[in-house]
Amino acid sequence: MPLITPLSQDANPQVAELAQFFNETLGFCPNSVLTMQRRPAIAKAFINLNVAVMENHGRVTSDLKRLIGYLSSLTAGCRYCQAHTIRAAERYGADAEKMENIWEYQSHPAFSLAERAALDLAIAASTIPNGVTKEVSDNLREYWDDGEIVEILGVVSLFGYLNRWNDSMATTLEDDANESGVKYLDGQGWSKEKHQ
């Protein structure tokens, strides 16, 4: 049972308008946003940050950003965000081979060296204490420029917030996100757990 029950999608017209962004990314407005809107300023700030972080500026593609979010959420243990990020990766055209082999990204041929460096950062930056070492940083700089690194770490940081929010709130997982979780993550031991 969630800590706080989400409000209806139309509880705040300004939040509802901003939340249309999620219709593209997920196909629905997440329950996390519907809970945040109990304090509309938080919901609006979060949605605007999400839009800014996920905006595609080039080489850090929309599907790669969702895979970064997935590994960050996997590292943090948030089942809700794992399902959301794998769903969004699928909706943004991530290669099925990458989604099916994300756990072996360091050696699987579907992943480029640049993608591996970005995903290494996602895991290292999502651990507590922080695991970003000189080796991780140097490897990242081999493939990505400063602006791209800001984008990558922006995704990790956004999901740091979401992982804590959704795990603490025990946010109820939506049916469509659950479907994607079952499709891509079930074989790796994923389940809704407290997000029933």
> Which residues in the chain come in under a pLDDT of 50?
none
Q: What CATH number belongs to 57-188?
A: 1.20.1290.10
Quote the pLDDT of residue 188.
84
Quote the pLDDT of residue 186.
87
CB-based contacts of 22, cutoff 8 Å, min separation 6 = 28, 29, 30, 33
Quote the pLDDT of residue 161.
98
Q: Where are the domains of the chain?
A: 57-188
Quote the pLDDT of residue 2.
93
Cα separation, 172 vs 34, in Å, equals 11
